[in-house]
Amino acid sequence: MQTASQQQKTGKRILITVCGRAGSKGFANKNLKTFCGRPLVYYTLAAALLFRDARPDLAVDIALNTDSQPLADLVAARYPEVVFLPRPAELGGDRVPKMAVFQNTLLRMEERAGRKYDYVIDLDITSPLRTERDIENALTVIEAHPELDLIFSVTEARRNPCFNMVKDCGGYVEEAIKSPFTARQQAPAFYDVNASIYVFRRDFLAASTTNFVWDGRIGVSVMMDTGILDIDSEEDFLLMEAIAAHLYAHNPAFGAVQRAIRPGAEG
């Protein structure tokens, strides 16, 4: 249900989704890991709440969609305002499209609230190096471009497939993309999709029957490239912690997220 303060707001309604399934083939129980001394999921929630507090004109709800009771308990212990939506069995497993989970979360939260949202912002648990400004920038992009159905976060690619990438052709390699360009400046810009932030226009997400993001017209929001490693292995996790320790100590925007984590037994 809406709080009194949310009912008084006249701005847009935003649903922030945090989605995490139980287990992981690549990195066991990664959503339950402790990262730089604090539970990994708390970094995502801290960034979400910094964004909410920076935009009092918006009515922001946050929902956790998971089939992991330990993850639900971890979130409830420190962030009781986050709505827990037990994930249906048919949306479990690693082959279910993320967009199906986002859509499920949207429809259940709208049924609960009794009204529609304007945008859905998904924040990935395994991308903890995300600032309040990153979320704000992503929303700003889609608000400024009514022709877009969704945007997702990216980083500038360190390699350009027109010049310094090759593809395996079975015993030999060829250019990744055959192109007429003689200088990198002539080639189109390429980006790495980092899966940290998705922002959907509500009607596009609700109406999807394919759960395929490429059905929509997509824009991008560019993030800092050293802040977006995705955690899919023990090696990723250790490298991310090393980068995070530096950013928390020396970059105020990242440090603000760590400081915003609600204190508990671990700190």
pLDDT tens digits, residue range 187-217? 888 999 999 999 999 999 999 999 999 999 9
More confident residue, 262 or 184: 262
What is the separation of C-alpha 84 from the centre of its chain, rounded to a whole number of angstroms? 17
pLDDT of 186: 87
Across 91-105, 228-242, 248-262, which has the greatest mean pLDDT? Answer: 248-262
Mean pLDDT of 16-26: 83
Confidence of residue 33 (pLDDT cuts 50, 70, 90): very high
d(CA 112, CA 110): 5
32-41, 92-101, 214-223: segment of lowest average pLDDT: 92-101
d(CA 41, CA 201): 25
Mean pLDDT of 232-241: 89
pLDDT of 227: 66
- Percent of the chain's residues with pLDDT above 70: 93
Q: What does pLDDT average to over the chain? A: 91
pTM of the model: 0.91
Domains located in the chain, CATH noted: 4-260 (3.90.550.10)
CA angle, corner 158, sides to 17 and 152, nearest 5?
A: 20
Pairing of strands 59-66, 13-20: parallel
Q: Is the pLDDT of residue 7 over 50?
A: no
36-45, 210-219, 223-232: segment of lowest average pLDDT: 223-232
Amino acid letter, residue 220: V
Amino acid letter, residue 16: I
Q: Is the pLDDT of residue 263 over 60?
A: yes
pLDDT of 238: 92
d(CA 260, CA 138): 21
pLDDT of 14: 98
pLDDT of 5: 46
pLDDT, tens digit (0-9, with 9 covering 90-100), for 130-176: 999 999 999 999 999 999 999 999 999 888 898 889 999 999 999 99
d(CA 249, CA 257): 11
Q: Is the pLDDT of residue 28 over 90?
A: no
- Percent of the chain's residues with pLDDT above 90: 73
Q: Is the pLDDT of residue 184 over 90?
A: no
pLDDT of 201: 98
d(CA 46, CA 34): 15
